[in-house]
Chain A
Amino acid sequence: MNNYVVRKIKDRLMLIFIFLALVVALIPLFSILGEVIINGSSSVSIDFLTQPTPTVGEAGGGVANAIQGTLLTIGLSSLIGVPIGLMSGIFLSEYGGAKLSTSVRFFNDVLAGFPSIVVGIFGYTLIVLSIGFSVIAAAFALAIIMIPIVTRTTEEALKLVPATVREAAIALGVPQWKTTVSVILSNAKKGIATGILLALARVAGESAPVLVTMGYWRWWFAGLDKPVANLALDIYTFAISPFENWRALGWGSALILVLLILGISMVVRLFTREKY
């Protein structure tokens, strides 16, 4: 057998291997998604989307209060986490000196790897102990989870903007902050949006920090200093409950959570679409 044939076989084998790896990676994804859609869709109805959690043993009801609560909690945590993460990312990429940036980046990565329950307990000691279980405490803990993700992805997205574009703006006599805001950010907005979405999706699905900062809540929103219902936590509570109706609601909640994240990412993509 000559070299050429050997090379061709190797090439073919490699391709088969890569393809198999892809299939193996996709199987769990699609089986989970399939399961959620099959089991969840049967419990989604008008009532499901408009009624609050039913009491134990009661038939019907829905998770409208949890949808409201999840949107509120992740909205509030984004209000805290996104600006801080964005600014930190801009600092690391555009302003920070080499030494400072290296250490900030290191601690940021450590923070990104923190177990979320630890972040939850941090929120508990800092906020719950003074004002009680509340939306504020949950949003604060979730914001801390968001910050390192947004920081890192913003920095990476900004670094991808070619130096030539930066220099072009500086050479036009544009001050640095304006160069960053109007030229560099607009070139990187797609990557930044992806980072924010990743962070949002991550916290929308977090249950551990929510559990220790807000706890389970079966009613509608009652004030920022009170807890609200939460889809991720509902899934947990419903799934381990012995009630048929609650378990069905749990599947429905899982489906809604997936659709919610999908919906948010579609809206964000639409708004950050590139003109050219």
Chain B
Amino acid sequence: MLYKIEVENLNAWFGSKHVLKNINMKIKEKAVTAVIGPSGCGKTTFIRCLNRMHEIVPHAKVSGKVLFNGMDIYDEDVDPVQIRRKMGMVFQKPNPFPMMSIYDNVAAGLKLNGIRNKEKLDSIVEQSLKMAILWDEVKDELNKSGASLSGGQQQRLCIARALAVQPEIILMDEPCSALDPMATAKIEGLIRTLTAEYTVIIVTHNMQQAARVSDYTAFLYLGELVEYEATTNIFENPKSELTEKYITGEFG
């Protein structure tokens, strides 16, 4: 099995606060990897380091290597903009572009990067919305505002927007934390289908969700990687006492 991402000695800071400490992790291709841990453990920072979003925050700093298809994305010659195009990101709160229609939201990544061919855009928009299981709900109102959709639909719209640029990896930062159980179930189902073509990395504070959707699970605690294993091992047979305490709900 191939590794899509290899993280080597990754450290991250906000100002003088050391939020990620020496993370080493190899993430498998076309699988779902979940990152779990209590609030403030560095989960979000971790995935934001994978597509160089961490550094856009003032006073944020990173050291170490993140190999993407074997290439270090923190190498000096690498343009972060190019890296981000290959990794779609879905955020905690649905964040469709409020001034754009449903269609334009999905096409945004392509249009803003200079693709104008109407036929091509149409087909990618349709394909992305279908993949995000939103097509049937919105196909007759593609010109309506993206912000007019329900929260769950908006989040699927954001997933479609991320898929439309045809990334290799989908990073999800607690994508269901603002959604009700029905919408959550839909998105979880969607995540499973995405593994056929994509490598998915999902941050979640919901352990059941990690157990349901992921193939591998990493447990972060206070900025350190405590345990990283196949999901079934983590939940049924954790090696570390800390992991066991966390997944049995003793703290967190």
Contact residues of A with B, CB < 8 Å? 98, 162, 164-165, 167-175, 178-179, 182-183, 186-187, 274-276
Q: Judging by beta carbons under 8 Å apart, are A167 and B95 in contact?
A: yes
* Consensus secondary structure, chain B interface: mixed
List the B residue with the shortest CB-CB distance to A181. B112
- Selected A-B contacts with CB under 8 Å, 13 pairs: A165-B95, A168-B95, A170-B53, A171-B53, A171-B84, A171-B89, A171-B162, A172-B112, A172-B161, A174-B109, A179-B112, A183-B108, A276-B99
Extra contacts, 14 of them, besides A162-B95, A165-B95, A173-B165 (Cβ < 8 A), are A168-B91, A168-B158, A171-B87, A171-B88, A171-B91, A171-B162, A172-B85, A172-B109, A172-B162, A178-B112, A183-B112, A275-B99, A276-B144, A276-B145
Question: Smallest CB–CB gap between B52 and chain A, Å?
Answer: 9
Tell which of B98, B101, B112 touches A187, judged by Cβ atoms closer than 8 Å. Answer: B98
Please name all residues of chain A whose beta carbon is closer than 8 Å to the beta carbon of B91 when the two chains form the complex: 164, 167-168, 171
Q: Judging by beta carbons under 8 Å apart, are A187 and B99 in contact?
A: yes
Q: Judging by beta carbons under 8 Å apart, are B99 and A174 in contact?
A: no
Task: Name the interface size band of chain B.
Answer: 20 to 34
Bound Cα distance from A173 to B165, whole angstroms: 9
Bound Cα distance from A167 to B147, whole angstroms: 17
Which chain B residues in 73-105 approach chain A with CB under 8 Å?
Answer: 81-89, 91, 93, 95-99, 101
Bound Cα distance from A65 to B29, whole angstroms: 73
* Consensus secondary structure, chain A interface: helix
Check B249 for interface membership: any CB of A closer than 8 A. no
Q: Judging by beta carbons under 8 Å apart, are B95 and A173 in contact?
A: no
Please name all residues of chain B whose beta carbon is closer than 8 Å to the beta carbon of A162 when the two chains form the complex: 95
Check B240 for interface membership: any CB of A closer than 8 A. no
Please name all residues of chain B whose beta carbon is closer than 8 Å to the beta carbon of A172 when the two chains form the complex: 84-85, 88, 108-109, 112, 161-162, 165
Q: Judging by beta carbons under 8 Å apart, are A170 and B56 in contact?
A: yes
Please name all residues of chain B whose beta carbon is closer than 8 Å to the beta carbon of A174 when the two chains form the complex: 81, 108-109, 112-113
Question: Smallest CB–CB gap between A162 and chain B, Å?
Answer: 7
Q: Judging by beta carbons under 8 Å apart, are B58 and A98 in contact?
A: yes
Contact residues of B with A, CB < 8 Å? 51, 53, 56, 58, 81-89, 91, 93, 95-99, 101, 108-109, 112-113, 144-145, 147-148, 158, 161-162, 165
Please name all residues of chain A whose beta carbon is closer than 8 Å to the beta carbon of B82 when the two chains form the complex: 173
Q: Of A168, A169, A172, A174, which is in contact with the most chain B CB atoms at under 10 Å from its CB?
A: A172
Please name all residues of chain B whose beta carbon is closer than 8 Å to the beta carbon of A165 when the two chains form the complex: 95, 97-98
Bound Cα distance from A187 to B104, whole angstroms: 14
List the A residue with the shortest CB-CB distance to B95. A164
Bound Cα distance from A175 to B86, whole angstroms: 14
Q: Judging by beta carbons under 8 Å apart, are B53 and A276 in contact?
A: no
Tell which of A98, A169, A275 touches B112, judged by Cβ atoms closer than 8 Å. Answer: A169
